[in-house]
A and B are shown apart, each in its own frame.
Chain A
């Protein structure tokens, strides 16, 4: 069964550095999403992406963040100038329609 994959599974970075989190959505899906989950807290929507552009973003998704679909398979989240409070699990999801979203296993980001 196809699934969403994410790399790396764990990323450790120094405060102020830039990180790129990678996702490979399910191949025939059209909608892509990023969420984050700070340890012990709820899953928070960051951004949705459709037809090569951002369709919706939350108040969390400020200029520090950007998303890109550089080729036909990858979907990336770039976080510039990371802060301690960016430490969280970042989940990518994809969907064929706007209904059921399929989540990847997540990338744990630790900012030191």
Chain B
């Protein structure tokens, strides 16, 4: 399976702190994407990083990719209560995308 596996499963932090979530996968990929899901809602695309990229930024988000270790991390800086959600990585193989189980982030005000 090409799916990503997130770590930790759950993370609870205070508003203003940084949150780091990790993703590992098993096979070669074309790109890796991070999505966010608020409870009971659809997934919202956050950021895509290609296999030839090592780091990417988007606002308060920073994503790294280490293809040698088959891992990625998502850093959310200066977290806000509104960042409370589940975060998924998804790996894109030749034909389809696979999601991991997600990290449930809770940001306490």
Contacts and interface: CB of A to CB of B under 8 A. Distances in A.
Looking at chain B, what size class is its interface with the partner chain?
A: 20 to 34
Given A43-B99, A48-B96, A100-B33, A106 B42 contact: yes
B79 to A, nearest CB: 23
Contact of A101 (B3, B41, B45, B102): B45
Contacts, number: 55
A103 B92 contact: no
A97 B48 CA distance: 13
Chain A's interface: helix, strand, loop or mixed, by majority? Answer: strand
B42 to A, nearest CB: 4
Interface in A46-87: 48, 55-56, 58
A40 to B, nearest CB: 10
A69 to B, nearest CB: 18
B45 A105 contact: no
A103 B43 contact: yes
16 contacts: A4-B42, A42-B88, A43-B99, A44-B99, A48-B95, A55-B95, A56-B96, A98-B30, A98-B92, A99-B31, A99-B33, A99-B92, A100-B33, A100-B48, A106-B42, A108-B40
Interface of A: 4, 33, 35, 41-45, 48, 55-56, 58, 89, 91, 93, 98-106, 108
